[in-house]
Amino acid sequence: MSTQLLLASSSPRRRSILNLANIDFITYSPQVDESAISNKLLEIYKGACQSAMGRIITGELALQKALAAAYLTKAPLILAADTLVMCRGYILGKPQDAAVAHSMFNLLLGKQLSSEDLALLGTPKATEEDRQHQIKGQYHQVSTGVCLLVHKNYYQSNLSPELSKRLKEVKTAYPELNEYYKLSFVEQAGVYMQGDTAFAQKTVDDYIAAGNCYDKAGAYAVQESTAALINGIVGDVYTVMGLPLHALLEQCNEILPLRAAEAITDVPEVKEVKVRTVAEETALKAESAPEPELINTNTRKSAFSRFNSALMHMNNKEKASNTLPASPTADGQLKQQSGTEKTPMVPDLSLSRPLIFDNSATAVGQVNSLQSKLQELRRNDSSLPSFLQKN
């Protein structure tokens, strides 16, 4: 199993950049007092220009992070980085609150700083470099220092002469750290921003309100919504993101371990996908649609059928009242004593047939007959359909 690279950082942006290069790595974030180191360097190199100050601070902080990780983990291959944003001589670290973030954006966008902004940003720490351009906007500089520590037992016999010349021995007061070689470099990029529109102001307000600014030097990220404020970049965009990928691969490609390609044992079957036209899709939906539910005529009765049933029920009652009860005979059979003989009932379908009038007298008679039947049904039967119960 190959040795993995230890990334001494918790930055998700640096992790994503290493993933782009297919580098095999794990992460560990050492605790380093960055403020104390930066303040000491600012005191020593007071009055230096911001380009030189950016190189000094980021290079030293990257080295200290790598040494802290080596002291605690003893990993054979360690990578650390530090990024610093400087604008008009001000050092822009990670903002502590929304007010500081707003002041940083006012500075980056070239706005006139208020007294409140000056109080929050403090005094300039370096000599301002006049690179403001009327078209491109306000210029600021991003410096990213990189430090790679390689243990002496790692790749001892596999290093090329060119790489061996670039590796320097680490000399510290800790003997265990002196077993490492170091390779350090600093990359810088220039960024132009301009935001004197209502859209730019809304972008800044929404970005700060979402809380995306607090873990980034300079309060912004080039790969997020604040990219809309950037007019141009001079240099490597990955330097602005936090890890100069091209310089890293150019100087350390022999040392950085790559992920091994996983062997594919089961090759999935490739299925042909047919693209259907709109007409074919419509025909397919019509074929797969469920068949309409058939209406059972035995269970659903029409209004005329219910009306005829009511007529039959009324006629049955009338004929039953005119029939005398039967008495048993000697042989046990029921016999009708007297009265009208019981006849099978036939439904009255006269109301369900269309009216065909031969003359006016016939029409009046049929209408009167229908009205009388309907009135009698209304008096004697409460189960009529609703449209027959109305006057």
What per-residue confidence (pLDDT) applies to 293?
52
What is the tens place of the pLDDT at every residue in 21-74? 999 999 998 889 988 999 999 999 988 888 899 999 999 999 999 999 999 999
DSSP sequence for 204-257: HHHHHHTTTTTTSGGG--TTSGGGGGEEEEES-HHHHHTS-HHHHHHHHTTTSP
Grouped pLDDT means (10 residues each) for the chain, 391 residues: 82 92 91 90 89 92 94 92 91 89 89 76 63 67 94 73 81 84 93 84 91 88 89 92 93 84 46 49 70 51 58 62 52 48 49 50 69 75 63 54
Give the CA count within 13 Å in the CB-facing half-sphere of 179.
12
Task: Say which of 24, 82, 206, 381 is annotated catalytic.
Answer: 82
List residues bridging with 137 in a β-sheet. 133
What per-residue confidence (pLDDT) applies to 88?
86
What per-residue confidence (pLDDT) applies to 157?
58
What per-residue confidence (pLDDT) applies to 292?
55
How many C-beta atoms surround the C-beta of residue 277 within 10 A?
Answer: 8
Pick from 306, 317, 105: which is nearest to 219 by CA? Answer: 105
Helices and strands of the chain, counted as H and E runs: 13, 10
List residues bridging with 102 in a β-sheet. none
CA distance 274 to 282: 15
What per-residue confidence (pLDDT) applies to 153?
82
**Catalytic annotation present for 358:** no
Pick from 52, 207, 213, 73: which is nearest to 141 by CA? Answer: 52
pTM of the model as a whole:
0.62
What per-residue confidence (pLDDT) applies to 270?
40
